Structure 1
Amino acid sequence: MVIAIFFFLLLSTLHTASAQQTQYSNISLGSSLTPTGTHSYWLSRSGLYAFGFYKEANDYAVGIFLVGFPEKTTVVWTANRDNSQRLVPSNTTLLLSSDGRLLLQPTQGQDIYIVTLDQSASSASMLDSGNFVLYNSNQQIIWQSFEHPTDTLLPGQRLSSGEELFSSASNTDHSKGLFRLKMQSDGNLVQYPVDTPDTAPYSYWTSWSDGVGNNVTLNLDDDGHLYLLNSSSVLKNLTGGYPKKGMMYLMRIDVDGIFRLYSHSSDQKGNWSVPWESSNDKCDPKGLCGLNGFCTTMDEEAECNCLPGFDFVDPDKWSSGCERNFTAPSCKDKEESVEYTMRPLDNTMWENIPYSVLQMPTKEDCEEACLEDCNCEAALYTDRECRKQRLPLRYGRRLLSDSTVAFIKVGTSKRIINGVPVDKHKETKKELRLDILIVSILLVALAFVVLVISGMLIYRNRVWAYKKISEKGNIELGEDVGPRAFTYAELEQVTNGFKEELGSGSFGKVYKGSMSMLSSLKMVAVKRLEKVLAEGEREFQTEMKVIGKTHHRNLVRLLGYCLDGTNRLLVYEYMSNGSLADILFAPENRPSWDERIRIALDIARGILYLHEECETQIIHCDIKPQNILMDEYRRAKISDFGLAKLLKPDETKTFTGIRGTRGYVAPEWHCKLPVTVKADVYSFGIVLLEIICCRRSVDWSLPEDEAVLEEWVYNCFNACEMGKLMGDEQIDKRKLERMVKVGLWCIQDEPSLRPSMKKVLLMMEGTVDIPVPPSPTSFLSAI
């Protein structure tokens, strides 16, 4: 009663002009409401709850709602959720008729009943508890909203055995949604997707209170105490009580499938708090992303993605699921078929309803088995078991701890008609008319003439351009072509006699130059190599062609090269902000936390491109801050990718040697083991820790327990003292923990424990969960 009086005082100023509405506690026969009239709802005496019309989309619905509260938690009960006529236009009347029926009367069409009664009502009331009741002539309650909950429980209300709450379709659409919360007869409170059996494979949350008695109910008290009760005692507390003066509570199963306890206090100015929720993982509810979609967590928020080869049915409504972006003919169609490929999707869980289960030694065998089976549209492989599935796939979510690989059958651009591969966009004709043949021959002849004339003009222009260069000494380069071969004299001219040195390394020096590019002057960096392969020109040129085909926003672009006698030079785009080391280890240039994370993501994307996305796989072999350059926008770009292939094996070791301290080199280099892309992952892990802490990986000016960065970081992580890594810098602790865990996984001594760069990027972006990393053992093995 104290709460009711409090909210009455809070809201009374909103209703001083509607004295008749504020007095509506007892509603007599013949009373009516209209959506846009003076009376659109009946208020409780306190003025806190109302029964009547509320706005939804462009129409109106009938329900119970809190007056003057945030939209997200306003509506606590909705009428006719399953009725297609739930929404009504503005010219509809809500009437408690003279014969004791509660109904909607549209201007056209039949009446719509709000409730079904066994006997006629004599009056109604909107109570201060939020319960709307109908009375008979003896003032006995014959119907009440508390016994027919929709998605919300109010204090004093209960969910009886066998009853369910259903989530709303959206925060603005209060029809039935995707999820349900059921108080089962076995005493267990369980959450399921809609339209599923009440069995364990479909549940995604349970109270684990089964077998404790019959007639168990879910109850909510005025102090926020949410608990399970049987006829004699409290069986399980879901929340403790939160006794506080002036506090109001309600419980709701939300649109996202999680049920939460909401609280509101007078000092919150309309905002609601969530003191308790059934799950803090928003991907737990099964079916959140619809058919053929899967859920990933991004900074604790749920994000839906489609299977490979699928697009969202409605990009603005993830729950609508995904559909194929190509047409798949029936297996019974003998004349036409589609050429398929299999696309893998790692670490995903799905509903387990295979039509065939095979024992396969490798995932490649499973992939091939599905590809050869016309009926197989997807295959799930885990623990040497291959489960063939038909579409749609349901209840998908990405979970790093799950080893299941899903193979999805995706159509290519080719289709096959009567056994002959054809372009799916090409029109086929059974007859070829003579006039079309003649026109085709003429067009071919004309094209040949044009080609000959064009060739002559191109040759003439090239000869003219060569003479122009020879006469004026103007070196010009187009960015839309591959690396250009330069003479040593041309690069000597570009750099003004190698006058301005930008930097140097064990392999040579870098000079600043300028050349004409697309009618403008462009700065370039010319690297003069001193230690190169002695096998000859063919190997050098082949390597340049491989590197020249790489195009990525996070790689420094190779513009040209020189192979002139014993001279070997490389021409790169010029990076105006120097290297990452210049800005990371200089206090005056130190980037902010958000900028450091952006730089780390840039580096990861560049390495991923080298490892998996370019035409020829490239192992960088020397990832370090000095080889990461910053452009004018301080965007990170990797340089020197692939150059290790140009150096002798013993010089590779010198090039990346740590000389007595642990640096960027993976331990397998020192054990003379085969070097894979995981060597780059190790180096990236060291760089990531440097980016996080803004210090070098080894610094003997610091105390001994802090000198070796990876040892210090792991010790701080293990002791839950990661705040020491950031000093006075204020950052998001969750992001810091995520980045530290990624770095520690990358620097594991055992290469097989290190994640691929693709998984590294997913972990950094928060798309997948990150297990607790073990200690990067054998710290001294690489010294």
Structure 2
Amino acid sequence: MASIIFFLLLALSFTASAQRQTNITLGSSLTPITNSSWLSPSGLYAFGFFRQRNGYSIGVFLSGISLKTVVWAARRDDAPVPSNATLLFTSDGRLVLTSAQGGDTLIVSASQPASLASMSDSGNFVLYNSDREIIWQSFDHPTDTLLPTQQLKAGAELFSPVSETDLSTGIYRLKMQNDGNLVQYPVNTPDTAPYSYFSSFTDGKGDNVTLNLDPDGHLYLLNSTGFNIKNITAREYPTKETINMMKLDADGIFRLYSQNLTRNGNRSDVWSSTSNKCDPKGSCGLNGYCVMKDKEAECTCLPGFEFVSQGNWTSGCERDFDAESCKDKNGSSTYTMEELSNTEWEDASYSVLSSTTKDNCKQACLEDCNCEAALFTDGQYCRKQRLPLRFGRRKLGSTNLAVVKVGRPISIMDRKDSKEPITEKKNLGTGRTILIISCSFVAFGLAMVPICGIIIYRYHVLAYKKVPSNDSTGLNEEFAPRAFTYAELENVTGGFKEEIGRGSFGTVYKGIISSNQKVVAVKRLEKVLAEGEREFQNEMKVIGKTHHRNLVRLLGYCHDGHHRLLVYEYMSNGSLADILFSLEKRPCFPERLEIARNIARGIVYLHEECETQIIHCDIKPQNILIDESRCPKVSDFGLAKLLKSDQTKTFTGIRGTRGYVAPEWHRNMPVTVKADVYSFGVMLLEITCCRKNVDWSLPEDEAVLEQWVYQCFQDGDMDKLVGEEVAEKKQLDRMVKVGIWCTLDEPSLRPSMKKVLLMLEGTVEIPIPPSPTSFITAI
């Protein structure tokens, strides 16, 4: 009886303190630097600006402790704002973020104008109307956290953050389903059992079930009659100088945390939904699978694959071999099959063979050009798959295995065009064999040292004597672009005889370097800035240092008198425009999606990963070249800085090509990488629909691609866009939504190219895009 009275008094005490609130009146404002937040009466919680990555975001956070734990974030997927932004509670009852350039962004969407706001000691931020009725509250719109007395209502979800430092929407969700079941899924998956990885198993236990958290850390489910249908945690957690809160973390596990409220208090997790960090599906990205090692999760790639980005597991894995044609001229497969045992994957099979054996399954996949992997399950079913494979996890004791097609590994020389790590397979022999070989090499090396020393000395002396004073030979192309004379390139191209392309930067000719018979593309630049010798060479070195498999490689340059030429690797399949807008060469839909992803990877490298950030300024299908393996490569990057200001096909002072130029070019606004995002978005819609962005031969409502795409998206009739039945409906939906986000009129609303890539790969959720405010295309 005494314990019941204690908990009752504790609940009443918390309720009384939570009801205390600080009122915020119309006309109040905040800035990130001064007067940055509105505090609750106790000072424990605050609503306002908090640091996020390279700027500031808005939300509710614990303010009375040194660690600013964010418990609710407004517009969490928006880019952080700069320090000169202002949060204003306007006189007409709206809460808006005002930028220094004058644009307003609505922070919360209430059903009617507010007349008062408050920040309470419960951590709830509330808006009231003139009758003091609640019209909006943060407790009704949780992001990744539940606070004491807060509920997760039927039909509502929590979404994990990307990381502890990036609070934008991550790859996991916790849903309080309308059937009464509390379930966890990866984002962008249906609410069905095959995709769940945690469940309360309370479906059918009542209507309007809610997830509730008490101050003492008691997490439980209540139905509409107030009956407790299941305890998730027990009432065993301390409340003195602590706050218990539940968070859905970036790793997909939801945990109960005990936050110490002393000034330098720590936060510790006292309960978690699972102890197996490989339970959440998708933590290793596409084509990767999760393995538990010493209670920690590690990601591993499929055989024949390597990580897209080392250190970023969610980016997934990609092939480390050449994707050759399926069969050789004799009809034999050019691939081999490798096994991966004790693993489970998403079943996205397009064909299932029953009552078969493992060997027959491998052979069936090997002979099927559409099959890239197969899952052999239950000892008899062969489920043929296309890549990518998702949600891979090792499960010891499982009889399931995956068989994967593997081709010829990419050579080390092929990979010198990329900053991606090289992983070499080593065939390990016995210890004795290794010892004998090692000793032999040591002995041979000792014998060769004096001989090599003499050879190197004599080579360097002779080489030094042979280097001409003008250094026109430059460095080896494997390390830096080579400097050519104009006469050399005239000879390479046979007097600029074979023209293979013409664009906004100049004319391109085919050539052959006689010393190694290497086929090259020589671009003769027009109207280039009159840079000095050193400045031009420095710019060439910057471009020459950009090594990525989705960028066309710069092999050399010419700065000879008034001549400015560039020498590139030759792309045998022409441009993306050549295959995209040709009915005979048009790629299938899965190939179009992969083309878009690869182009995005190249642009991400230019924006975020190379030594000097490069804004392309002219992203379009004509500037995406296709190599002999039909791999797309971005060309003409880094050349915008070399052009005169009037070098453009359509607009004075604007660089780019009509139809792809971002709206900010027209407004005399600073141009950032978001201009490339806009151009990529237009091109992504072209890739999706296999048509040009403006085509006046079509009906008027279809002529402008961006407008037509958004109309079809609104109408839910996206099959109309591709003119064919697309089996991969989710992929089509993904490409369309990403394209709309990229082509929004306001640059700050467009995602970064890194976010674009993650969305195209399906590793992050894509919010419903807003209606574009305008469509600016130069006709």
Q: Highest relative contact order (Cα 8 Å, sep 6+), 1 or 2? A: 2
> Given the two structures, how large is their TM-score scaled by the length of structure 2?
0.49
Q: Which has the larger radius of gyration?
A: 1
